[in-house]
Amino acid sequence: MADLQVFEKYLEANGIVPQKRRPFYIHWVSRFLTFIGKQEVVPADDREIEPFLHQLAKSTEEWQVKQAREALRIFFYYIARGDKKVQETIKPLEANDAWKLVIDQMKEALRLRHRSIRTEQSYLKWLRSFYSFLEGKHPGKVDSPDVKRFLSHIAVEGKVSASTQNQAFSALLFLFRNVLDRELTYISDTVRANKRRRLPVVLSRQDVQRIFSQLDGASLLMARLIYGCGLRVQECASLRIHDLDFEQSSLTIRSGKGDKDRITVLPESLKNDLHGHLDSVRRLHERDVAEGVSEGVWLPEALERKYPNAGREWGWFWLFPAGGYSTDPRSGKIRRHHLHVSILQRRFKQAVRSAGIVTRATVHSLRHSFATHLLEKGYDIRTIQELLGHANLQTTMIYTHVAGRNILGVTSPLDG
């Protein structure tokens, strides 16, 4: 049987488990060893811990089960290091192996806090870039000056934008606070990429219609929804059937930017087209249910546990489903996901070119145009803020600079 005191020294020597968490890790390993009984040999791999975790889930919270899983995964790695003599020398993990554990812990921490898959992917990308920059330095020895040098490096050598550098900083801040359990200090004098103020690209009503004339099918309907409701492209792609309210002429956006919900207007001119689109989507949904190939659409984790069959219900189905099945990157289940945003972005770019429009317009320009055109019609800036889902009114105020008429009510001295 493994000696827990030796294992505790092993955790301390590697430094990848924060000091205040180590007693909890030892606690979970001790409970696991009690659960499996007085075996002379510890199970060979972590596939044999599932009965223990299942039993644990009945009396503990989800985050505790995840912490127990992480503790046991490190424990099995420790056991696999070799014989008792090797274990008693407390040989620290090599830097590469330690960083692999840090990456896994980063994933667990992001998912525990319900961060989106895109946030997870971008944060892990910056974590790997940081690891490469450090050239093999052990994560237990990483400190604030390393972060300062890395951020300065990507700003000066990489010439990244201010928003990209801020994203890298957010990723490393998350790493220090939630994985390494340390605080970042003395980085105020880090070289920062210059943050320039840019006006949004706004299309005229005529240009919007010219672009729409070059689109068809689901791409046209999505583009019209984005313009008519002021949606972000990801918000449009991830709409579900029950988000539509034809009677109230409203559309609910769930888990938008900042994981916030909001309600916006549903244009009357889109209702007939949406009804026709729903007929074809329903046939696809009925075929998926009948064939039983898909595991059902993705649901937020808590809902999927509470209502395991809800993913096959009509109300939860995507408004714009993909043409085929794909593998969920987190669970590994086969599902029908929503249409990928890159499909609309690519077709929109082609439509802009075909319409002969030279403005550097993207799909997001439709959202900018929605806000600007409402402002030109005389709608209150705070109403537009609510429809767009902006947390700060200053963000919405940018559209006053691109509105077509003098909405500020200022008379130039040249005009008398």
Between CA 343 and CA 215 the distance in angstroms is 12
Alpha carbon distances (Å) from 320 to 234, 252, 326, 343: 11, 15, 15, 12
Paired residues of 253 in beta bridges:
262
Q: Using H for helix, E for strand and C for coil, what is the string for 66-103?
A: HHHHHHHHHHHHHHCCCCHHHHHCCCCCCHHHHHHHHH
> Which residue out of 31, 257, 262, 312 is catalytically annotated?
257
Catalytic choice (335, 336, 347, 367): 367
Query: Is 153 tagged catalytic?
Result: no
Separation CA 256–CA 234 (nearest Å): 8
Active site residue 390: yes
Does residue 367 carry a catalytic annotation?
yes
Angle made by CA atoms 218, 266, 212, in degrees to the nearest 5:
40
Tokens representing 254 are 């769930």
Q: Considering Cα of 17, then 23, then 29, then 32, what sign does the dihedral take? A: negative
Rounded Cα–Cα distance for residues 309 and 166 (Å):
40
> Catalytic: which of 138, 148, 232, 338?
232
Given the residues 31, 115, 277, 364, the one annotated as active site: 364
Is residue 224 part of the annotated active site? The answer reads: no
The answer to whether the CB of 335 falls within 8 A of the CB of 326 is yes
Q: How far is CA 89 from CA 7, 26, 78, 82, 113, in A?
A: 11, 19, 12, 11, 37
Cα-only R_g, the chain:
27
Q: Specify whether the backbone of 409 is left (phi greater than 0), alpha (psi in -120 to 50) or beta.
A: left
State yes or no: is 257 an active-site residue. yes
Active site includes 20?
Answer: no
Judge whether 50 and 213 are in contact, CB under 8 Å: no
What residues are labeled active site? Answer: 232, 257, 364, 367, 390, 399
